[in-house]
Amino acid sequence: MNITKASDLDRREFLTGMAQACLGVGLFSSFSAQAADHGGKAKRVIYLYMAGGMSHLDTLDPKQDKEVAGEFAPMRTSITGERISDRLPLLARQLQHAAIIRSMTSKEGSHERGSYFMRTSYPMLGTIQHPGLGAWALKLSGKNSETLPGNINIGARNPIGAGFFEPEFEPLRISRAEAGLSNISPPPHVDEGTFEHRMQLLRTLNTKFDSRFESRQVDGYAQAYEDAVKLMKSSELKAFDIAREPKNLRERYGKNNFGQGCLLARRLVEHGIKFVEVTFGGWDTHTDNFERLEKQLQQLDAGLGTLLDDLHRRRMLEDTLVVLVSEFGRTPEINDGNGRGHHPKAFSCMLAGGGVQGGQVYGATDSRGATVAEKVVSVKDLNATIAHAVGIDPAHELYSKSGRPFTIANGGKPVLALF
């Protein structure tokens, strides 16, 4: 039974439980750890989100047509016969680990709706907030660490949250990798002794109140304070400290938010965090597409290329799924501002590790990159594929408070050929 707040248990909760029981969707419905088709290998996910609509034509699906290609050119990769943009040289040498999907398609052409759809598999509505992929992964396959949170977002101002799931599935936000967790230690002028003394004062003040009232919320806060202090003292906190990484490795990832974010993501999943997202903005190149992408791609290449290599060397790629995705692609037509517009009809993404077969390209677009020519993969299908990699049954239903069923992929089917 999907138990949410005790104070809201009502007819709908009962109905939810009944629905789950009667409609055959039980709590332990089929998510097996190791499916025969290599699903379920990913114990953790690093989700790299390129916010703004990353041009597929200037990255993973370059075209020979000079009018479409513009200022960049394709270059050879470690996948025989396949090319990607010449601005991604490091990544080009790592593609034996990755699967590129060139046949993504979506109907959502606005940033807000496009990114919401990509992250939740549902269209944005004013009447309900859907949980993001991280929340789903955490809810259905559990935490790996005792004191550390399971769902982290690095770099986004307002990441997709837990929707109608419980607040414990909300992602913990880290605005900059180098800064680490905010508010994790008291301000400099408060030493350990003072902090302990303050906590003692707090306990004194709370005793009477806590004993006066029987309240689930009050208990919740008592617990949250305990957990927060535990986290503050946790030895696992060093996971958030990228200064512990060797200097040259930090430099290889790139001294920018994205690069350091990738490095932090690797550390975090190494320490047992289930789902880490790194958000990298600046892809909305309506003007000066090539000038701006030079810089963006240099950072993407260093960060992602080093990440794949690093994971591979640590033998972490087998059970870590890396996703590179954006809400949509960009138009083959280059406008007067030397830029490209939004293009959801056809775009690319990339999966690596976590059971996904490396060294392959799945699907294709036409000669201009305007439409999908073969093997369409919808956003829902992509999310179903991610679910499959993590060992979550894409058809597993969970219920909102009003009794409506939702799934991680909203009906999408995993692309099994990728595994």
Partner 1 sequence: MNSRKALFYLLYVIVIFSLSLWLPRIFGPSSPVPTVANSAAKEASAPAAKAKAVQSKRMQSVQPAASRRIDETVAGLLQRKGLTQERLVTDQEFLRRLYLDLAGRIPTHDEAVAFLDDSSADKRSALIDTLLASPAYVSHTYNFWADLLRAAPIRGDAGNYPAWIKDSIEQNKPYDQMARELLTAEGRLLDDGAVGYWVRDGGRILETAAMTAQVFLGTQLQCAQCHDHKFDKWKQKDFYQFAAFFGEVDTRGGLNMLADRNERKKLRELQEELSPQENAAIRRFLNEITLNVHTAERKSLRYPKDYAYANAKPNSKAVPEVIFGTMPLLSQYDNHREAFAAWLTDRNNPRFATVMANRIWKRLMGIAIHEPIDDFKDKSEAIDDALLAQLGRDFTTIGYDMREFTRILCNTRAYQSAVSASAITPRNYYAQARPLRRMRAEQLWDSCMTLLSDDVDERKLANRRQGAEMMAAMPDLSEMSAEKILESVRDTMKAKRSMMMEANRTMRKRRTKGNNGPFVARASEMRPGGGRDDGFLQAFGQSEREVINGSSIEPSIPQVLALMNGKLSSTLTQAKMPLMKTLLACSSSELADRLFVTLLSRRPTADERKLVRTEYANGGREGLQNLVWAILNSREFLFIQ
Is residue 111 at the binding interface for partner 1, with CB under 8 A as the rule? no
CA geometry: angle at 298 spanning 296 and 299, to 5°? 65
Q: How far is the CB of 230 from partner 1 (least distance, A)?
A: 9
Give dist(CA 64, CA 16) in Å, integer: 54
CB of 15 to partner 1, least distance (A): 7
Residues 337 to 376 in contact with partner 1, rule: CB under 8 A: 337-339
Point out which span in 64-72, 315-323, 399-407, 410-418 binds partner 1 (CB under 8 A): 399-407
194-233: contacts with partner 1 (CB under 8 A): 194, 197-198, 201-202, 204-206, 209-210, 212-218, 220-225, 227-228, 231-232
CA distances from 71 to 60, 294, 370 (A): 15, 10, 18
Contacts for 408 with CB less than 8 Å, ≥ 6 apart: 121, 133, 136, 140, 383, 384, 387, 392, 394, 396
How many Cβ atoms sit within 10 Å of the Cβ of residue 53?
27
* Contact flag: residue 167 with partner 1 (CB under 8 A): yes
Residue that has been written with the tokens 């414990």 in this structure:
168
**Helix axis angle, 111-120 to 379-390, nearest 10°:** 30
3-state secondary structure of 7: helix
The binding track of 37-66 with respect to partner 1, each residue x by CB under 8 A or -, is ------------------------------
Q: How far apart are CA 290 and CA 279, in angstroms?
A: 21
Task: Enumerate long-range contacts of 24-29, CB under 8 Å, 24 or more apart.
Answer: 25/396, 25/397, 25/405, 27/1, 29/393, 29/396
Q: Which of 25, 90, 124, 373 binds partner 1 (CB under 8 A)?
A: 124
CB 82 → partner 1: shortest distance, Å?
33
Q: Closer to partner 1 at the Cβ: 89 or 225?
A: 225
Closest CA to 384 of 43, 39, 151, 6: 39
If binding is defined by CB under 8 A, does position 14 make contact with partner 1?
Answer: no
129 part of the interface to partner 1, by CB under 8 A: yes
User: Two tokens at 245?
Assistant: 């990484």
75 touches partner 1 by CB under 8 A = no
Q: According to CB under 8 A, which one of 18, 29, 186, 367 is a site residue for partner 1?
A: 186
Binding mask 226-255 for partner 1 (x = CB under 8 A): -xx--xx-----------------------
CA nearest 172: which of 219, 239, 115, 112?
Answer: 239
Name the site residues for partner 1 (rule: CB under 8 A): 5-11, 15, 110, 124-129, 149, 157-158, 166-168, 170, 172-173, 181-187, 189-190, 194, 197-198, 201-202, 204-206, 209-210, 212-218, 220-225, 227-228, 231-232, 286-288, 336-339, 402-404
